Chain A
Amino acid sequence: MTAHTFAQIQAVIARWYSIPLLLLVWQIAIASGLVESRLLPSPEKVWSALVTETANGMLIYHAGVTVSRALAGFLLAALVGIPFAGAMARSALVRNLFEPIFFIGYPVPKIALFPVFTYIFGIGTPSKIAFTFLECLYPIVVTCYFGFRGVETRLIWSAQNCGAPRSTVLRRVILPAAMPSIFSGLRVALPVSIIVVVITEMIGDSIGLGYYITIWSTRFTFANVYAAIIVIGICGLLLDQALLLLRRHAVYWQREEA
């Protein structure tokens, strides 16, 4: 029993030792004066910045702004992209019209269009949401398109053979069969939405975590910058876990890939 627990503890240490080790090295490097502590504040200072800035609500406010923008763009892209991908998979006309836009446009770095978006939608929230929508739309449409195309015709035929009307075929056969691909498209798009919002906030805004990072780095208070980076990481992690939870309910017959 004790040998077993000991082995378990040892396994946990073997798997997770690197983060505390690096934190320790970081702390020692600063304490010994090897590293400029203004540029690389000690873990202790980052932690206290994280606590005070969370307690006074600044980090929570800016994180709320960033996450709500990211989610708005992401959800819009999902609402438009999934039916659109279905239409592309079903109708040859829609496919031929939009295939070049999505497949040739896929590798084009769309971030370059952001300055144009700021002229059309202004510098605040609307341009961020519109741009996040565009960036999320591509992975969602492309992945879902292959999902809808991959639905076996056999299944649709047998449903039709049993006299199922078109709406039932769509709801009970096509949608469930495409569901795993829909979720993998959403899972690609979700981190993209956070990245895009942070980048565009860094380029120009007065609220949001991207702005928070820029403003505190110009004030040389890097403890706050690291605290904001940690908050971004936590937000991304939580959103991803939420999506996985949703997937577990929607695609209960298939386990997610690690």
Chain B
Amino acid sequence: MRINSASVQNWILPVATLVAWEILGRAGLLPRYLSTPSAILLALWELALTGELFVALAASLYRVSVGFVLGTAAGIVVGLGAGILPGVRHFFDPLVSFLYSIPKIAFLPIFLLLFGLGHASKIAIIAFSCFFPVFVASRHAVLSVNQLLIWAARNMGTPSQTIFFRVVIPAAAPQLFAGIRIALAHAFVLLFAAELIGSKAGLGTIISYGEEWVRFDLMFAGIVCFAVLGFLSDRMLLAIRSRLLKGQMIGTEEQVVR
């Protein structure tokens, strides 16, 4: 068994950072707000024992998943519609091109007032923010489907329903997934900001409690959970995509970034 030097080099920086952090932290050379990795793990364990962690995780997961699914579904349906029907396209294009460049978080105070401090306001703002990248991606994907494929199918007498499900959707799927991946990243950013600015439950609340009580290990525990959650959900999306798009991913950049 030969140790691959490339994979050793891959581990050097992350491991060195963690070890240096731990040693410097124990020696008291770091400021107090940087609790050591071992203290963060202990805080995670403490949160898990009291069950607080799971309550917060459940709240955050519920918000982000419902918001993401609602926004993405709406984006796909309206985006596909806009790609196929010029009427839908002409209605939504000016609106989206105006709203697209605005950070959706700016609407948070309005959503908080409309839907309250509970789940509904977070779900609504996450869905609102997920809609746009998915809409743009699916609209563009349908419009850039190779016309020859559609003509070929029509030439063989395929009904338009079958063309939609067997030609347009598979051809548009890779771009659609690119939009969905951006939406997922947006969902987590919005979740964090919304929970930190106005919320009574969730991982963001653990982070802000940690700050208030000067328990920086708790703050970092929340941060770690949040990062892991975002990372894992992205990996899940990539796994789903590589199953659905078998053979369509070869040689693309996304195949390499994983």
Interface residues of A (CB under 8 A from B): 14-19, 22, 39, 92-93, 96-101, 103-104, 106-113, 115-116, 119-120, 142, 146, 191, 194-195, 198-199, 202-203, 209-210, 213-214, 217-218, 222, 225, 228-229, 232-233, 236-237, 240
List 30 interface pairs A-B (beta carbons < 8 Å), by A numbering: A17-B90, A18-B92, A19-B98, A39-B110, A96-B5, A97-B13, A100-B11, A101-B14, A107-B231, A110-B227, A111-B188, A111-B192, A111-B193, A115-B211, A116-B33, A116-B220, A119-B31, A119-B33, A120-B31, A191-B103, A195-B105, A198-B103, A199-B105, A202-B106, A202-B108, A214-B109, A229-B106, A232-B102, A233-B98, A233-B101
Given A109-B227, A232-B102: A203 and B193 interface contact (C-beta under 8 Å): yes
Encode contact with A along B87-103: 1 for CB under 8 Å, 0 otherwise. Answer: 00011111100110111
Q: Identify which of residues 1-44 in chain B touch chain A, using a CB-to-CB cut-off of 8 Å.
A: 5-6, 9-14, 31, 33-34
Contacts of B101 in A (CB 8 A): 191, 233, 236-237, 240
B52 interfacial by beta-carbon distance below 8 Å: no
* CA gap between A8 and B119 in the complex, in Å: 48
How far does the alpha carbon of A100 sit from the alpha carbon of B257 in the complex, in Å? 10
Q: A109-B189, A109-B192, A199-B189 known; A194 and B103 CB under 8 Å?
A: yes
Hey, which chain A residues are within 8 Å of B98, CB to CB? 19, 233
Q: Is B113 among interface residues, defined by CB-CB distance under 8 A?
A: yes
Main secondary structure of the interface of A (DSSP, over half): helix
* Closest Cβ neighbor of A240 among chain B residues: B101
A228 contact from B106, B193, B223, Cβ within 8 A: B106
Name B residues whose Cβ lies closer than 8 Å to a Cβ of A: 5-6, 9-14, 31, 33-34, 90-95, 98-99, 101-103, 105-110, 112-114, 185, 188-189, 192-193, 196-197, 207-208, 211, 219-220, 222-223, 226-227, 230-231, 234-235, 253, 256-258
The CA-CA distance from A237 to B12 in the complex, in Å, is 42
Residues of A within 8 A of B226 (CB): 109, 112
Whether B223 contacts A112 by the Cβ 8 Å rule is yes
